[in-house]
Structure 1
Amino acid sequence: MEYLEFELPIKELEEQYEKAKNIGSESEVDVTATCKQIEKKLNETKKDIYKNLTAWQRVQMSRHPSRPYTLDYIKAICGDTFLELHGDRNVKDDKAMIGGLGKIGDQSYMFVGQQKGFNTKTRQYRNFGMANPEGYRKALRLMKSAEKFGVPVVCFVDTPGAYPGLEAEERGQGEAIARNILEMTRLKVPIIVVIIGEGASGGALGIGVGDKVLMLENTWYSVISPESCSSILWRSWEHKEEAAEALKLTAKDMKKMKLVDEIVKEPLGGAHRDRDKTFSTVKEKIASSYAEFKDLSPKDLVEQRMNKYSEMGVFKG
């Protein structure tokens, strides 16, 4: 298990606990009382650290290398029923954007989401979760197919942003994202969006329009990353913590501003600390969210969605 800088007190206590257990198993010394004392201190330290996380620490948690990614969720939720679909029928198959059909119980869903890699080779293969225009066009193709067959859509958002390369711009990155936003607002099937990691810029918005937007506790959602914001305003990345606070990008901030519908609680220490519990919680939330919208007519569904997004934002005349 990798530890973030602010988690080092937890690491020290866990190491002490393991040493005490080893001493007990390797000798006749009774270390039960010591272990209980360390365990109590460990639990208190965890609660104290994780209940007072800053915005920047939440950003760090969302990027934890052990955190589950889109395919981890889909495979855990759907099991062997998931069938991945490929290509935008125009340019190529974007590996940073994945999608396909899967089942939760007896209900079929079209799953779409950004996929990151877990080591250097797979990160390059997945382009660090940054999709090209063909990725967004593939996502739209799958969503339109779902609409045709009356299948609800589930989008997993986890990206540092859409790929900003020259080739991506030449192939219409901005148009592809804008087209997705337009088409998702009027899609005639329920859309459930789950922010599972980073929700950065238009890269997130390209699959982020939904009837129900769920946001995991230790994730962030913003027009720009704290580092980029800091480099623009202060000409340096050193103010990223200050930028994170100013951007109001945490789940609590998003819920307060009514930009997301619900915060999904994570296990103590983050989704990576107890993957099975996280998968189970997200699975239940998807099923219960779909139940809210499955009986609405396509007309009412689209109207409700349009009204929801029209009411977002605060302005003074």
Structure 2
Amino acid sequence: MSDRPILLDFEKPLVELEGKIEQIRNLSQETNVDVSDQIEHLEQRADQLRREIFHNLGPMQRMQIARHPRRPSTLDYVQAITDEWLELHGDRRGNDDPALVGGIAKLGDWSVVIVGHQKGRDTKDNIARNFGMAAPGGYRKALRLMEYADRFGMPIVTLIDTPGADPGVSAEEQGQGEAIAVNLRQMFSFSVPIICTVIGEGGSGGALGIGVGDHLMMFENSVYTVATPEACAAILWRDSAKAPKAAEALKITANDLERLGIIDQILAEPLGGSHRDPLKAAAALKSALISNLSRLSKMEASDLQEHRYQKFRKMGVFLEG
């Protein structure tokens, strides 16, 4: 894959300014003219512009960052935050879906089971991974691993990053809805701590299939939604160009979902997105996971289950004036 940066639309003014700074710096070296004051002024302006852009992003702009092809994936985070990792394969029914990966890991002092969606890094890899859209076999594989975790007393960590479950005919024939529904039911019954984190795009039932937990976190530029803004706009207005309007109404951002009580914690990202500094993003994730594992591990199994049940029962409750 090319090392050339992938630019998002709203980043172009910043990139143009950074390009001018580089041109002036190169010109000063060629002509031996001191322009350090001008460069310093432009760099201050670039820093200010960078903060203005990334501190005032709209829902669709955050969606663009969440979908960035170089955003860290599940396996990227696993490599960065764990000391040991053993990937496990197969749903024991003849399938091993590469769009949903899982295994046993050492996270700090904890032995945990990690499951998560896995997108590709380029077109070929994305096709192999089905763009992170898991088929029923993927959710059954995840359930098998989570049942192992429950049996052996290991906490469960899930990393969510999918536009949705595989919508193909084959997936429906294999029982896509049933596979996700069984996961939802069983995750409520587990007696071990479950921590779920939306690391990129959390879409529809595909995200919910590994999204029932005691503590739900989101990176600040990730999104979590019942349907993509494009799909919502096509359904409501028959015009996918109205996706930004749909994104505003859907309340897909971490800040919106925290205010609504859907998520429990927002993880800060490096300025510009997790893809700008993956190791810094991984350090934030690891710290949050260990902190919450320490807290949740002190709770009795019955208290965990009751807390988990009540957490989801409260979602969607509203009062009429």
Task: Name the TM-score, length of structure 2 as normaliser.
Answer: 0.96
- Tell me how far 1:23 sits from its aligned partner: 2.7
Instruction: State the secondary structure of the residue aligned to 1:164.
Output: coil
Match for 1:12 among 16, 38, 47? 16
Instruction: State the secondary structure of the residue aligned to 1:161.
Output: coil
Instruction: State the secondary structure of the residue aligned to 2:71.
Output: coil
- Tell me how far 1:172 sits from its aligned partner: 0.5
* Residue deviations 1:46-83 (CA, integer Å, cap 9, x gap): 1111111111111111011121111111101114x111
| Code of the aligned partner of 1:120 | T
* Residue deviations 1:144-167 (CA, integer Å, cap 9, x gap): 001111110100000000001111
| Code of the aligned partner of 1:264 | L
1:44 aligns with 2:53: no
- Tell me how far 1:122 sits from its aligned partner: 0.3
**Greater CA deviation, 147-156 or 31-40?**
31-40
**Greater CA deviation, 133-142 or 304-313?**
304-313
Match for 2:116 among 113, 123, 128? 113
1:272 aligns with 2:275: yes
Instruction: State the secondary structure of the residue aligned to 1:157.
Output: strand
| Code of the aligned partner of 1:298 | A
- Tell me how far 1:316 sits from its aligned partner: 4.7
Match for 2:194 among 191, 195, 199? 191
Match for 2:77 among 49, 73, 80? 73
Which residue pairs with 1:57 in the alignment?
61
Match for 1:175 among 173, 178, 187? 178
Distance in 2 separating the partners of 1:24 and 1:184: 62
- Tell me how far 1:299 sits from its aligned partner: 1.3
* Residue deviations 1:76-105 (CA, integer Å, cap 9, x gap): 1114x1110000000310000000111122
Distance in 2 separating the partners of 1:59 and 1:179: 29
Give the % identical residues: 49
Unaligned runs of 5+ in 1: none
User: Over aligned residue pairs, what C-alpha RMSD do you find?
Assistant: 1.1
| Code of the aligned partner of 1:295 | K
Which residue pairs with 1:29 in the alignment?
33
Question: Would you say how many aligned residue pairs link Structure 1 and Structure 2?
Answer: 316
1:159 aligns with 2:162: yes
Distance in 2 separating the partners of 1:26 and 1:143: 61
Instruction: State the secondary structure of the residue aligned to 1:82.
Output: strand
Instruction: State the secondary structure of the residue aligned to 2:116.
Output: strand
Distance in 1 separating the partners of 2:291 and 2:280: 17
Instruction: State the secondary structure of the residue aligned to 2:125.
Output: helix
| Code of the aligned partner of 2:159 | F
Distance in 2 separating the partners of 1:125 and 1:30: 53
Task: Name the TM-score, length of structure 1 as normaliser.
Answer: 0.97
- Tell me how far 1:22 sits from its aligned partner: 2.3
* Residue deviations 1:125-146 (CA, integer Å, cap 9, x gap): 1000000000000000000001
Distance in 2 separating the partners of 1:84 and 1:285: 23
- Tell me how far 1:27 sits from its aligned partner: 4.2
1:238 aligns with 2:241: yes
